[in-house]
Amino acid sequence: RKFKDEYNPNFNDEGVKSAVKSWEDYAAREADIVREQVIDADVEEILKEDSESSGINWAEFESGEEGSDTDILYNFEAYLPGFLRVFMHDKVTAVRLWLIQNGILADSGASGSESQVVKAAREAAE
């Protein structure tokens, strides 16, 4: 904006003229865009603390057990809406079982210390 205000129209520099014209075009486009207002209820829903029913169940992490890499996927499911959580859980379980059946992924069924998330996923698959 300062560049446009201090611009001397008598100065015959094509670079300056094109920069000023581009700025005017940009400002006109931005003026036409209607910004969507953020609803306070949406912000409060996002900032709500995690609990067992929504978000990550932090009590599970406070037990001191180290999780595996697959736990990250199940923690991701916790942030999805209910219908999408069930859909994603079923698809991840089906792909994991297919990988195990075809010998691509090792079956970790013999491990003694599993997190609750992995146990729940295995029970859901069976």
pLDDT tens digits in sequence order for the chain, 126 residues long = 566 666 666 666 777 778 878 888 888 887 777 677 777 887 787 787 777 777 777 776 666 555 566 666 667 777 778 888 889 889 989 999 999 888 888 877 655 566 677 777 888 877
**Residue-by-residue DSSP string for 11-43:** S--HHHHHHHHHHHHHHHHHHHPPPPPPPHHHH
Pair 26, 44 in one domain: no
Find the domain containing 16 and state its range: 2-32
User: Are residues 104 and 70 both part of a single domain?
Assistant: yes
Q: Which residues, 6 or more positions from 52, have their beta carbon under 8 angstroms from its beta carbon?
A: 59
| Residue 45 and residue 8 in one domain | no
* 114 and 54 inside one domain: yes
Contact 92, 84 (CB under 8 A): no
Residues 106 and 48 in one domain: yes
Do 6 and 59 lie in one domain? The reply is no
- Joined tokens for residue 114: 């599993």
The predicted pLDDT at position 34 comes to 67
Considering the domain architecture, whether residues 63 and 109 belong to the same structural domain is answered as: yes
Q: What is the per-residue pLDDT for 94?
A: 93
* Same-domain check for residues 26 and 74: no
Number of structural domains the chain divides into = 2
The reply to whether 56 and 105 lie within a common domain is yes
What is residue 95's predicted lDDT score, i.e. its pLDDT?
93
Q: How far apart are CA 32 and CA 89, in angstroms?
A: 43
**Residues 19, 50 within the same domain:** no
